């Protein structure tokens, strides 16, 4: 090459033309942005499950305290048969209120509502110590925890879209609730109880997968609204995940109890 000639297909001294970036520069930026988003998503999902676990601890502590102190029995004696219904209505109302108003509340208020709900649930669940022995309760908890963990991992990692099954799961939940209300007034057979229990386990297994995927989707939707929105939505997701675990545990406990009758 003679003096004054330029290298073919290039710029002087082999440098990139002004304003032109290496071909892999955009890919590097995309990879970094993707990794940053994945880390943020992981932190958000972990926050929701952390809140759920704290709620379960509050419930367990309150259930043990209530049973040891006899508080729930004294409450029922003082309020008559209405006490159980009053507590149930307060719990349902608090869960609905939190679900509908969580994004309009302060983070502190939303968290307090969630833990108050968990504490009230503990008072109600203290009755399981009267119906089941500690060994059965412990086995049910361990089975529920392992099953729940497997379902959660499946929901968070599967490529399938479980969110499409949401309407079906909600209809099944309503039908299950109606069936259980009817059984409160009609003495069911042992076979019927086993069928309803099996349906309950399958239903809340599906809801656990659904809510795991919903948690990821919710954080993706609210990611642009700042850390406060993420904290609030994590409490809502924690409530959903908490309810899935509690109901799964109760149905598994009931199944173990029926199998021993």
Evaluate whether residue 10 is within a structural domain.
Answer: no
The whole-number pLDDT of residue 22 equals 53
Which residues lie closer than 8 Å to 40 by C-beta, 6 or more apart? 219, 223
Evaluate whether residue 7 is within a structural domain.
Answer: no
Evaluate whether residue 40 is within a structural domain.
Answer: yes
The whole-number pLDDT of residue 44 equals 76
For 82, the 3-state DSSP assignment is helix
Evaluate whether residue 20 is within a structural domain.
Answer: no
- Counting other chains too, the contacts that 256-259 makes at CB distance below 8 Å and 24 or more residues apart are 256/132, 256/136, 256/139, 256/140, 256/143, 257/131, 257/132, 257/136, 258/190, 258/193, 258/194, 258/197
Evaluate whether residue 76 is within a structural domain.
Answer: yes
**Which residues in the chain land under pLDDT 70?**
1-42, 260-261
The whole-number pLDDT of residue 189 equals 82
d(CA 204, CA 173): 9
Evaluate whether residue 130 is within a structural domain.
Answer: yes
d(CA 143, CA 259): 15
Evaluate whether residue 53 is within a structural domain.
Answer: yes
Domain count across the chain: 1
Q: What is the DSSP letter of 22?
A: P
Evaluate whether residue 223 is within a structural domain.
Answer: yes
Residue range(s) defining the domain that contains residue 208 = 31-260
């Amino acid at each position: 090459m003679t003096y004054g000639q330029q290298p073919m297909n290039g710029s002087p001294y082999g440098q990139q033309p002004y304003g032109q970036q290496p071909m892999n520069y955009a890919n590097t930026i995309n990879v970094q942005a993707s990794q940053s988003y994945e880390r943020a998503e992981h932190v958000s999902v972990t926050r929701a499950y952390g809140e759920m676990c704290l709620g379960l601890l509050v419930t367990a502590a309150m259930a043990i305290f209530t049973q040891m102190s006899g508080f729930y029995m004294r409450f029922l004696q003082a309020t008559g048969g209405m006490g159980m219904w009053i507590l149930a209505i307060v719990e349902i109302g608090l869960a609905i209120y939190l679900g509908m108003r969580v994004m309009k509340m302060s983070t502190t208020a939303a968290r307090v509502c969630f833990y108050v709900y968990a504490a009230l649930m503990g008072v109600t669940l203290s009755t399981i110590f009267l119906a089941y022995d500690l060994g059965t309760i412990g086995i049910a908890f361990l089975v529920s925890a392992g099953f729940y963990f497997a379902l959660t991992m499946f929901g968070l990692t599967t490529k399938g879209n479980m969110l499409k099954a949401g309407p079906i799961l909600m209809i099944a939940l309503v039908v299950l609730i109606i069936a259980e209300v009817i059984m409160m007034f009609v003495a069911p057979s042992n076979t019927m109880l086993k069928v309803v229990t099996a349906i309950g386990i399958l239903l809340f297994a599906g809801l656990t997968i659904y809510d795991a995927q919903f948690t990821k989707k919710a954080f993706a939707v609210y990611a642009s609204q700042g850390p406060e929105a993420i904290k609030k939505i994590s409490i809502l997701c924690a409530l959903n995940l908490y309810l899935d675990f509690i109901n799964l545990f109760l149905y598994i406990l009931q199944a173990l109890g029926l199998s021993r009758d």
